[in-house]
Amino acid sequence: QSSVTLWGRINTTVESQKVGAGDRKVVVANNASRLGFKGQEDLGGGLKASFALEHGLNSDNGAATGDFWNREASVQLSGAFGAVRLGRWTPGSYFATADYISNHNHDTGSSSDELYSFATFKQKNKVGYFTPTVGGFSGEFAVGAGEGAEPRSLDISGNYDQGPLHLGAGFSKVGSAKQFAVRGLYELGSIVLGAYVQREDMGTGANDSRTIARVSAMYVMGASEFHLNVGGSKAGGSIGSNGAKQYTLGYNYNLSKRTKVYGFYTAIDSTAAKSAGDFSSLAAGIRHNF
């Protein structure tokens, strides 16, 4: 037996939610809790083999989510050339943009980014190449097999880190649907500012495109973090595809590097008729990494 690392995160909130025109209700909510197994083998000459299995679970009711290893199931060979990976994992185009600036609770649960376009978010049956990091730059190039049942997918992303400046971009395409996004994040001492702009083309014909934008700000004071996220997208329709504003105010208190207690207020103001797509939540929770 080799050395396998078991890790994960339980992130649970108690929330007072208002969904659409419904009554306000109390909800115990999961915020992307997970359990993972990973390991690495040194093959000599700089070559390494590794695997990762990551399971998403509902920390509020104990349910496993759809595909059990729905966050990652991969095997990889890496070396000076970079890395080649096979299997299922989260698109790099998402990590490089929307996820990167979500400092508050990392784009999970009811305060997650409802506006970012997931139309081309492909996780399964992928082959990926990851560049080594050169001069602060790293990139990912992934192709998802359609397996005769759906269109081939493509996901290309890059990240650039130099001192306090962090830039990223992502492009993805599934059939005729595609999206492109750029992101920046800057550290000004105890202040961190981030933003992304995304252009989506759902490839379904007329009125199938939109622009999405979001800014985030974090102020760190000792163990406390103060967060503000504001995003918006024009054009009518459902939240899913377009037309809404969203903002989140958050406060985190870090009990340790692994554990925090936090609270937030998040609200989505949809352009849908009669507040059908509106949502707001006042929440308090615990996030524990292990």
Q: Answer yes or no whether residue 150 interacts with a second copy by CB under 8 A.
A: no
Out of 21, 46, 47, 196, which residue is the one contacting a second copy (CB under 8 A)?
47
As a three-state string, the secondary structure of 243-275 is: CEEEEEEEEEEECCCCEEEEEEEEEEEECCHHH
CB 8, min distance to a second copy, A:
8
Q: Answer yes or no whether residue 275 interacts with a second copy by CB under 8 A.
A: no
Q: Answer yes or no whether residue 83 interacts with a second copy by CB under 8 A.
A: no
Q: How far apart are CA 193 and CA 195, in angstroms?
A: 7
Residue 130 · residue 121 · CB < 8 Å: no
Which CB, 44 or 205, lies closer to a second copy?
44
Phi, psi for 205 (deg, rounded to 5): 125, -135
Binding mask 228-267 for a second copy (x = CB under 8 A): ---------------------------xx-xx-x------
Residue 290 · residue 9 · CB < 8 Å: yes
Out of 193, 206, 228, 288, which residue is the one contacting a second copy (CB under 8 A)?
288
Out of 57, 119, 156, 218, which residue is the one contacting a second copy (CB under 8 A)?
57
Residue 49 · residue 34 · CB < 8 Å: no
> How would you label 76-114 residue by residue, b for 16+ Cβ within 10 Å and e otherwise?
bebeeebbebebbbbbbbbbbbbbbbbbbbbbbbbbbbb
Site for a second copy in 87-126 (CB under 8 A): 87-88, 123-126
Out of 82, 244, 270, 286, which residue is the one contacting a second copy (CB under 8 A)?
286
Q: How far apart are CA 196 and CA 213, in angstroms?
A: 6
Which CB, 47 or 276, lies closer to a second copy?
47
Residue 24 is classified by DSSP as: P
Q: Answer yes or no whether residue 49 interacts with a second copy by CB under 8 A.
A: yes
Q: Answer yes or no whether residue 81 interacts with a second copy by CB under 8 A.
A: no
Q: Answer yes or no whether residue 33 interacts with a second copy by CB under 8 A.
A: yes
